[in-house]
């Protein structure tokens, strides 16, 4: 199951684990990604906490924890190859995986069709 935030983050839900990254729309808006700062494995976040940073030639942007939970894995490849966020934002360019502390938090997010409509309304 895929969910999307108004902050242009995506979550792929598999059981009680969410894989988190930024959307294609977000990476396009940022331009060429030159640096990614990832959270620590084991760190605990509340919904909306700053969890990671992505920097591009245009700007730096926070990546928020979309859910409450603990970081279980990071995509360390991004530290050496941040451009993977541009080339494959929803596959190889994921940022981190986290436990889902409160599944009801997912209710606040859009499905793929809802997100596409949201983005179309921004343009």
Q: Domain with 25 in it: what CATH number?
A: 2.40.50.100
Residue 30 lies in a domain: yes
Residue segments in the chain with a per-residue pLDDT below the cut of 70: none
pLDDT of residue 106: 97
Residue 117 lies in a domain: no
Give rounded-to-5 percent helix, strand, coil for the chain. Answer: 25, 35, 35
pLDDT of residue 123: 79
Residue 115 lies in a domain: no
pLDDT of residue 36: 97
pLDDT of residue 88: 97
pLDDT of residue 69: 98
Q: In 15-87, where do the E strands start and end?
A: 17-22, 33-37, 44-45, 50-56, 60-64, 69-74
C-beta atoms surrounding 54 within 10 Å: 25
DSSP state of 112: H
Residue 89 lies in a domain: yes
Residue 72 lies in a domain: yes
The parent domain of residue 73 ranges over 2-106
Residue 59 lies in a domain: yes
H-helix or E-strand containing 14?
A: strand 9-14
Per the structure, the count of domains in the chain is 1
């Amino acid at each position: 199951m895929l969910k999307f935030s108004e902050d242009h983050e995506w979550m792929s839900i598999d059981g009680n684990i969410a894989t988190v990254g930024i959307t294609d729309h977000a990476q396009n808006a940022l331009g060429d990604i030159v640096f990614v700062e990832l959270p620590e494995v084991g760190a605990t976040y509340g919904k909306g906490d700053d969890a990671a940073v992505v920097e591009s030639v245009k700007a730096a942007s926070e990546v928020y924890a979309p859910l409450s939970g603990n970081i279980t894995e990071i995509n360390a490849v991004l530290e050496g190859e941040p451009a993977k966020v541009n080339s494959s934002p929803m596959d190889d360019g994921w940022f981190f995986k986290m436990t889902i502390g409160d599944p009801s938090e997912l209710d606040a997010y859009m499905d793929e069709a809802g997100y596409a409509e949201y983005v179309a309304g921004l343009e």
